[in-house]
Amino acid sequence: MAPAAAIPPPSDLPGLKARFATLAAAEGFDAFGVADPDAAPDAGPRLAAWIAARRHGEMEWMADTEDRRAHPRALWPDIRALIMLGFNYGPDEDPRAVLAARTKGAISVYARGEDYHDLIKAKLKRLARALLAAAGAGDVKVFVDTAPLMEKPLAMAAGLGWQGKHTNLVSRARGSWLFLGAIATTLPLPPDAPAADHCGACRACLDACPTRAFPAPYQIDARRCVSYLTIEHKGPIPRDLRPLMGNRIYGCDDCLAACPWNKFAQEGREMRLAARAENRAPDLSDLARLDEAGFRARFAKSPIKRTGRARMVRNVLIAMGNSGEPGFAAEAEARLVDEDPLVRGAAVWAVSRLVPAPAFAALAARHVGAETDPDVAEEWRVAGVQAAA
């Protein structure tokens, strides 16, 4: 967008902010607030400590952007205010219900509908244009998720809610189910008061985590988080964490869903984000059979397409291995000769949990000699040792 820096900002900035809040609500945003760019001074040092402790795992893009992410002005020196926006995506059912269905996969709420990035970015861009038109001056940039901006502490500073002990933003009015987005501007809009922490003595989210990913309240070790493991982690999932994942095949909502503030949550109104029927409780067998073309067609407009077929089928095989359903053995066995080593390795683990030891030994005798990938060969070795024990 073209800057209009020579024109002075309008004198009625509170009036402009109020008009803009109305426009944001009309665009479908459920939470609105303005933060001063200096209003989250702890965020940068805490990010640095998190990265130094390697809690970002393989997300090297977090470390690579650390300097820019640490302070909004490092991203854009001219910034005078951040308009922080929340978009409600509250589910229409308890997303944990599917965790008990052993032959089904659990997809997290945010990924059951269309990709929110595209949808919210388009809304932010429209709003940013409207802001410039109303102001007649200034410049803007829009951010949602992918930009190196610490959206949660800035949203807290803007009064949208507080960062709960699960580290996500919780709103008194909406509970845990808010996507965040930001419009940065050179207009010095008046900031809102920061939100206060309302967690108190509660620790429901910490206790709900299946993989114990919180080393302390308000801190997450992404390397243990199922969301990270199923979506971001590219290689084989660490063996000790696999049994703890249950049937979670894409993201996880356990800590969000456990929050008592969800009693105020409402269903999201945006139909494009609503759960598609086939993503509520998909059959693990159907997903395990997807080839590249099938995967792309099945998840065309979904955020799941970013992960690619191999990681998704890896996750499905872990869920099969956790299911205790011998009926999945043949399905998992078919993937022992998959062209992708990530899939073959997960298939070895699944089969080792689904068939008796002699049958596993027979399969190993048939496949180990032909295996060229070192990770998959290691899966055969470890599973063989465990089956023999």
> Binding site: residue ranges?
69, 145, 169, 180, 199, 202, 205, 209, 225, 227, 234, 252-253, 255, 259
Please state, as a whole number, how many other Cβ atoms lie within 10 Å of the Cβ of residue 67.
12
CB of 260 to ligand SF4, least distance (A): 6
Instruction: Dig out the tokens for 109 from the structure.
Output: 């709420």
Partner interacting with residue 150 (select from ligand B12, ligand SF4, none; CB below 5-8 Å by kind): ligand B12
**CB nearer ligand SF4, residue 103 or residue 219:** 219
CB of 66 to ligand SF4, least distance (A): 22
**CB nearer ligand SF4, residue 84 or residue 245:** 245
CB of 26 to ligand B12, least distance (A): 21
Max Cα–Cα distance, the chain, nearest Å: 80
Partner interacting with residue 68 (select from ligand B12, ligand SF4, none; CB below 5-8 Å by kind): none
**CB nearer ligand B12, residue 249 or residue 320:** 249
> Binding site for cob(II)alamin: residue ranges?
69, 145, 169, 180, 227, 252-253
Partner interacting with residue 258 (select from ligand SF4, ligand B12, none; CB below 5-8 Å by kind): ligand SF4
Distance CA 364, CA 352 (A): 10
Strand 106-107 versus strand 248-250 pairing type: parallel
Report angle CA 57, 106, 338 to the nearest 5 degrees. 70
Partner interacting with residue 202 (select from ligand SF4, ligand B12, none; CB below 5-8 Å by kind): ligand SF4
> Binding site for tRNA: residue ranges?
234
Instruction: Dig out the tokens for 317 from the structure.
Output: 């095989």
**CB nearer ligand B12, residue 319 or residue 376:** 319
Instruction: Dig out the tokens for 278 from the structure.
Output: 């086939």
E-strand ranges in the chain read 31-35, 81-88, 106-107, 140-143, 162-163, 169-170, 178-185, 248-250
Task: Give pairs for 46-51: CB < 8 Å, separation 24+.
Answer: 47/150, 50/219
Distance CA 313, CA 46 (A): 35
CA 64 to chain centre: 19
DSSP string, 329-386: HHHHHHGGG-SSHHHHHHHHHHHHHHS-HHHHHHHHHHHGGG---HHHHHHHHHHHHH
Which residue in the shown chain puts its C-beta closest to ligand SF4? 164
Partner interacting with residue 328 (select from ligand SF4, ligand B12, none; CB below 5-8 Å by kind): none
Alpha helices in 136-169 (DSSP H): 151-157
Distance CA 174, CA 155 (A): 14
Contacting positions for ligand B12 (CB under 6 A): 43, 46-47, 50, 59, 62, 108, 110, 144-145, 149-153, 163, 166-169, 178-180, 218-220, 222, 225, 227-228, 232, 251-253, 255-256
- The angle, 0 to 180 degrees and rounded to 10, between the axes of the packed helices 341-354 and 374-388 is 10
**CB nearer ligand B12, residue 62 or residue 343:** 62
Partner interacting with residue 262 (select from ligand SF4, ligand B12, none; CB below 5-8 Å by kind): none
CB of 133 to ligand B12, least distance (A): 25
**CB nearer ligand SF4, residue 17 or residue 166:** 166
> Exposed, middle or buried by CB within 10 Å (0-12, 13-18, 19+), for 361?
middle
CB of 354 to ligand B12, least distance (A): 27
Contacting positions for ligand SF4 (CB under 6 A): 164-166, 170, 199, 202-205, 208-211, 213, 220, 225-227, 252, 254-255, 258-261
Partner interacting with residue 352 (select from ligand SF4, ligand B12, none; CB below 5-8 Å by kind): none
**CB nearer ligand B12, residue 3 or residue 41:** 41
Which residue in the shown chain puts its C-beta closest to ligand B12? 251
CB of 48 to ligand B12, least distance (A): 9
The CA R_g of the chain, rounded to the nearest whole Å, is 23
Residue 145 a catalytic site member: yes
Distance CA 255, CA 81 (A): 31
Catalytic residue among 145, 197, 283, 286: 145
CB of 381 to ligand SF4, least distance (A): 28
* Catalytic residue annotation: 145
